[in-house]
Each structure stands twice: as structure tokens, then as C-alpha cells.
């Protein structure tokens, strides 16, 4: 952390010296740090939307500049004239001190905000939520990489096994024993262990590890000092780390201290109702699902709240018998099926034939004919049947007894005759027929 702070000072002075560093990574880093402070201490009461206290919102640069009851919160480039900075620097007991309620920003947080304002309070929406590694200067990362490369370790390549080892043994230890003092809130000795890049850079006493060599690694040395040593970590008054865990640290360093890159926090889409559905499938179901998907057969829940499944078979090229088997896993929950444009082969017929709980069935715009219709099973719940632009004729209408609950029938652009439709209308007045 020290390193970054002095680094920032450099930026600050460069800024004052009149050098323009528009959009530089340094400015982005300054913004990100300031934003995190605002987020941690201010957003709860001063956010746009939920009636911000004192009519001041601090979650966008516009609202900061517009200010609240006490006028603008910021004067760009002038921390000494900015209400925001004034308020956080007031004595805890003084009127107008922020954050309200007795809290106080720590020194590094105050510096982060002050330097950001001095630097012109640049706001970069795009850097928010990104990967932390992106925020580091290229130099910092390449230094670390070089350090590891000397030992034949590529820090950017971490095997799945190593990643799991790190997660199970090292990261969990950091969380339970270390990040209280070396984390997001405090960075004692300039060390931060909740962030890969910062951790590998180490603290005031140098890099965290020397890959492959525990005896030269600060982390391992500090963990294994005698109990009465001042340098021992965790400090002697804190709970001890078990010998097994320390052995894992040793093993980890010997393996080359593989630390997987954090998954990008970019919204890569997140859950949609279909990913939620697939995530809940068993391995076997998932395999069946994937095999269907591969040939263009698509299953999704009808909506977020459930209500059965929708089957879209119309993007499939051609069916095989094995897909019938895969589909059988889902068939009783499929209420809605789309077989438009499907080529009517025996496997296709079989596929459709096993969907006994259908409520809505789309067969339009396909070569579906009377013979295919004959093979349809009884569908006691079918409500909607679409046969427009198919090859069905009057013969099909005679077989509609199979669907006692049918209320909508679409026959436009077929060879079905008007007289057959009229007869059907008389027989089943509740049935809406569109021709």
C-alpha cells in the first residue's frame, strides 16, 4: 500500500505541475480508490434515488458538483475549498462532521479522497467493477512475473489443481488469520492479502514469497519464527495457525506459489432464467440437456417462476433416436413445444410422441401431414394447436377427439375445407378455429 501511496503522490505532483495525464491508468487508480472510500462510507445515506440526506448524492460526479443543501460538494482540483474534504476532516464531535454517527475515515482513506479531488476528480464509470489486476500499472505486474519467471513459474498460468489447492488451503487461511490486519480495511506493514497483485508485491519488507523456496519467502519465515520473536505472524497474542496449515503454505510455495487470477467481475451476462434452470440440473440431466442443445433442440423454463418447460425443436437439423432418449428426461414437464420447420422423420415423430403433457403445440410451417397426425398420442391437456401452412387435410379434423381440452386451432393456408371446419364448429362450439 505504501508503494501505491507514494506512487499516487507522484501523480499528484505531476498534476499540479500542469502535466495533463488525461485518462492515464494512474488517474483511474486514484478514482477507483476514492470511489471505494465513498462507497464504503457515504453511499448508504448519499445515493441518488433514495432521497439522499441533505439532498446530496455522491455517487456520480454530476451530483457531487451540483451538491446538496450546503452547496457544491466539490471544487475540482481544490481539496481545500471542497465541502466533501472539509467535512471528513472536521473533528469527530464537531458539527457537520462526516460520516455521521461517530465513524471516521482512516488516514489513507482521507488521502485517497483528497488526492483524487486535487487531481481534478476525474470520474471513470468504466473502471468500476473491473478486475483489480487491471488497475495495477503494467510495471508492477511484470516485475512480479519476472520474479517468478526466474524460477520457471508462469504466474498467469495456474492449473485447476493448483487453483483448488490455493483456495482450500491458502486463501482460507488468509481469510481466517490474516486479512483482518492485511486486507481491505487495514494494510499493516503495507501488506494486503485479499488481492492477488497487491499480495504478491508484498509489504514494506519486500515480496510475499520467493516462488519455490519457502526458506527465503517472507510469508513462510514470519509464520515459523519462535513464539517470542517480535516479527512472528500472526502476533503472539493472536490465535495460532496450525502446523498442518503452515505445512500447506510450505507446500504451496514449493509448488511455485500459484495464485489464480481472480475471475473477472465484469457482468458477463449473469443468470438468466435459462442458466438458472441448467444450474439446477443433475449431471445426467445436464448431459442429456447438452446433447440436445448440440443438435439445436432447446429447452428453457417458461418463465422465471416456473410453469413447466418450453421445447424449441425448430432449430434442429434432424433427429436421431438418442435424442429421443435424452428428451425423455424432461418430457413430462414440457408444456409448450415448437416443431415448426421440422423434418418429419420417424425419430422426430417419436420425439414428439412422448410429450404427453403438452398444452401448446406449434407444428406450423412444416411438412406435417395427416399420417404424422395419426401418430400423435392423446394429449389430454392440449389447449392450442397450430397447423397453419402444413399438409394436413380434412382427415386430420376427424381425429381431433384426441385433444378434449383444445380451445384454439389454427388452419390457415392448409387444404382443410370450409365445410369440414363448419362441421367441426358445430360439434365443438368452444373451439376457436382460425382459417
Partner 1 sequence: MKDRLQHITTNLETPDRRAFCSYLASSMLGVTVAGLVSGCGKNGKGVAVVDQANIAADGSVSPEAPGLADVPVNRATAKSVIYLYMGGGMTHLDTLDPKENSEVMMNSRAISTNVDGMRLGHWLEKTAKHMDKAAIINSMNTTQGAHGPGNYFMHTSYTKRASITHPTMGSWIGRLSGPMNPDLPASVFVGADSVGGGAGFLPSRFGALGIGDPESGLKNSSRPKGVDEREFERRLELASFLDTEFHDKYALKEVQAYTDAYTDALRLMNSADLKGFSIEDEPKSMHELYGASKFGKGCLLARRLVEHGVRFVEVRSGGWDMHGNIWESLEKKMAELDRGLAALLQDLELRGLLDETLIVLATEFGRSPALSTQGGRNHHPRVFSTMLAGGGIRGGQVYGKSDERGHAVAENKVSVPDFNATIAYAMGLPYNEIVYSPSKRPFTVADTGTPVVDLFG
Confirm or reject binding of residue 75 to partner 1 (CB under 8 A).
no
Q: Which is nearer to partner 1, 21 or 359 (CB)?
A: 359
Residue 121 CB contacts under 8 Å (≥ 6 apart), including other chains: 34, 61, 64, 74, 76, 77
Cα separations in angstroms, 301 against 236, 272, 287, 308: 56, 10, 17, 6
Confirm or reject binding of residue 76 to partner 1 (CB under 8 A).
no
Cβ atoms of residues 372 and 343 within 8 Å: no
Dist CA 193 CA 197 (whole Å): 9
Minimum separation from the CB atom of position 393 to partner 1 (A): 18
Restricted to residues 152-191, the positions that interact with partner 1 (CB under 8 A) are 156
Confirm or reject binding of residue 404 to partner 1 (CB under 8 A).
no
With H, G, I as helix, E, B as strand and everything else as coil, classify residue 106. coil
Which of 128, 163, 395, 421 touches partner 1 by CB under 8 A? 128
Cell of 411: 388452419
Confirm or reject binding of residue 431 to partner 1 (CB under 8 A).
no
Closest CA to 309 of 347, 276, 268: 276
Confirm or reject binding of residue 273 to partner 1 (CB under 8 A).
yes
End-to-end CA distance of the chain: 74
Minimum separation from the CB atom of position 309 to partner 1 (A): 9
Q: Which is nearer to partner 1, 10 or 306 (CB)?
A: 306
Confirm or reject binding of residue 300 to partner 1 (CB under 8 A).
yes
With H, G, I as helix, E, B as strand and everything else as coil, classify residue 423. helix
Confirm or reject binding of residue 275 to partner 1 (CB under 8 A).
yes
Which of 328, 412, 422, 427 touches partner 1 by CB under 8 A? 412
Q: Which is nearer to partner 1, 14 or 312 (CB)?
A: 312
Which of 21, 24, 48, 77 touches partner 1 by CB under 8 A? 48
Confirm or reject binding of residue 298 to partner 1 (CB under 8 A).
yes
* Exposed / middle / buried, residue 10 (Cβ in 10 Å: 0-12, 13-18, 19+): exposed
Cα separations in angstroms, 153 against 1, 214, 434: 25, 15, 70
Which of 204, 251, 271, 318 touches partner 1 by CB under 8 A? 271
Which of 7, 21, 39, 54 touches partner 1 by CB under 8 A? 39
Q: Which is nearer to partner 1, 106 or 272 (CB)?
A: 272
Minimum separation from the CB atom of position 43 to partner 1 (A): 9
Minimum separation from the CB atom of position 74 to partner 1 (A): 14
Cβ atoms of residues 210 and 216 within 8 Å: yes
- The stretch among 60-68, 100-108, 172-180, 318-326 that binds partner 1 (CB under 8 A) is 60-68
Long-range contacts of 386-389 (CB under 8 A, 24+ apart): 386/361, 386/362, 386/410, 387/363, 387/411, 387/414, 388/364, 388/412, 388/413, 388/414, 389/364, 389/365, 389/413, 389/414
Rounded to a whole number of angstroms, the CA Rg of the chain reads 33
- The stretch among 6-14, 54-62, 95-103, 210-218 that binds partner 1 (CB under 8 A) is 54-62
Confirm or reject binding of residue 239 to partner 1 (CB under 8 A).
no
Cα separations in angstroms, 34 against 108, 110, 172, 349: 10, 9, 28, 63
Confirm or reject binding of residue 318 to partner 1 (CB under 8 A).
no
Dist CA 294 CA 386 (whole Å): 26
Confirm or reject binding of residue 359 to partner 1 (CB under 8 A).
yes
Q: Is the peptide bond before 234 cis (omega within 30 degrees of 0)?
A: yes
Minimum separation from the CB atom of position 41 to partner 1 (A): 15
Confirm or reject binding of residue 368 to partner 1 (CB under 8 A).
no
Which of 259, 335, 344, 368 touches partner 1 by CB under 8 A? 335
Q: Which is nearer to partner 1, 86 or 383 (CB)?
A: 383
Q: Using H for helix, E for strand and C for coil, what is the string for 318-360? A: CCCHHHHHHHHCCHHHEEEEECCCCCCCHHHHHHHHCCCCCCE
* Exposed / middle / buried, residue 106 (Cβ in 10 Å: 0-12, 13-18, 19+): exposed
Confirm or reject binding of residue 139 to partner 1 (CB under 8 A).
no
Confirm or reject binding of residue 67 to partner 1 (CB under 8 A).
no
Binding site for partner 1 (CB under 8 A): 35, 39, 47-48, 59-62, 123, 125-126, 128-131, 134, 156, 264-277, 279-282, 285, 293, 296, 298, 300-308, 312, 314-315, 332-333, 335, 340, 359, 362, 364-365, 384, 386, 388, 408, 410, 412-413, 434
Amino acid at each position: 500500500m505504501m508503494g501505491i501511496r507514494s506512487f499516487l503522490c507522484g501523480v499528484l505532483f505531476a498534476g499540479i505541475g500542469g502535466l495533463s495525464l488525461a485518462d492515464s491508468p494512474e488517474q483511474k487508480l486514484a478514482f477507483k480508490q476514492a470511489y471505494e472510500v465513498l462507497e464504503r462510507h457515504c453511499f448508504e445515506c448519499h445515493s441518488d434515488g433514495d432521497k439522499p440526506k441533505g439532498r446530496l448524492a455522491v455517487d456520480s460526479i454530476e451530483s457531487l458538483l451540483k451538491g446538496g443543501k450546503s452547496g457544491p460538494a466539490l471544487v475540482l482540483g481544490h481539496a481545500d475549498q471542497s465541502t466533501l474534504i472539509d467535512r471528513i476532516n472536521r473533528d469527530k464531535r464537531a458539527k457537520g462532521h462526516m460520516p455521521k454517527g461517530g465513524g471516521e475515515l482512516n488516514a489513507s482513506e482521507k488521502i485517497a479522497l483528497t488526492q483524487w479531488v486535487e487531481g481534478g476528480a476525474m470520474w471513470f464509470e468504466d473502471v468500476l467493477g473491473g478486475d483489480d489486476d487491471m488497475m495495477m500499472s503494467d510495471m508492477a505486474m511484470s516485475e512480479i512475473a519476472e520474479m517468478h519467471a526466474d524460477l520457471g513459474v508462469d504466474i498467469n498460468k495456474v492449473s485447476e489443481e493448483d487453483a483448488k489447492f490455493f483456495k482450500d488451503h491458502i486463501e482460507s487461511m488468509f481469510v481466517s488469520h490474516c486479512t483482518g490486519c492485511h486486507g481491505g480495511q487495514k494494510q499493516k506493514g503495507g501488506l494486503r492479502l485479499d488481492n492477488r497483485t497487491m499480495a504478491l508485491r508484498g509489504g514494506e519488507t519486500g515480496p510475499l514469497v520467493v516462488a519455490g523456496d519457502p526458506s527465503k519467502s517472507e510469508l513462510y519465515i514470519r509464520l515459523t519464527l519462535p513464539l517470542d520473536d517480535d516479527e512472528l505472524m500472526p502476533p503472539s497474542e493472536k490465535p495460532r495457525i496450525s502446523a498442518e496449515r503452515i505445512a500447506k503454505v510450505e507446500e504451496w510455495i514449493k509448488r511455485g506459489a500459484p495464485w489464480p487470477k481472480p475471475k473477472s467481475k465484469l457482468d458477463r451476462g449473469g443468470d438468466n432464467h435459462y442458466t438458472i434452470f441448467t444450474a439446477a440440473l443433475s449431471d445426467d440431466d445436464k448431459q442429456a440437456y447438452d446433447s440436445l442443445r448440440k443438435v439445436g433442440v432447446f429447452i428453457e423454463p417458461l418463465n422465471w417462476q416456473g410453469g413447466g418447460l418450453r421445447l424449441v425443436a425448430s432449430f434442429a437439423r434432424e433427429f436421431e433416436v438418442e435424442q429421443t432418449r435424452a428428451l425423455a428426461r424432461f418430457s413430462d414437464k414440457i408444456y409448450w413445444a415448437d416443431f415448426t420447420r421440422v423434418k418429419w422423420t420417424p425419430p422426430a415423430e417419436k420425439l414428439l410422441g412422448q410429450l404427453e403433457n403438452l398444452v401448446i403445440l406449434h407444428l406450423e410451417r412444416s411438412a406435417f401431414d395427416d399420417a404424422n397426425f395419426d401418430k400423435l398420442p392423446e394429449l389430454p391437456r392440449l389447449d392450442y394447436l397450430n397447423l397453419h401452412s402444413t399438409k394436413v387435410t380434412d382427415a386430420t379434423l376427424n381425429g381431433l377427439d384426441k385433444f378434449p381440452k383444445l380451445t384454439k386451432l389454427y388452419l390457415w393456408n392448409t387444404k382443410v375445407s370450409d365445410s369440414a371446419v363448419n362441421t367441426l364448429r358445430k360439434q365443438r362450439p368452444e373451439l376457436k378455429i382460425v382459417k
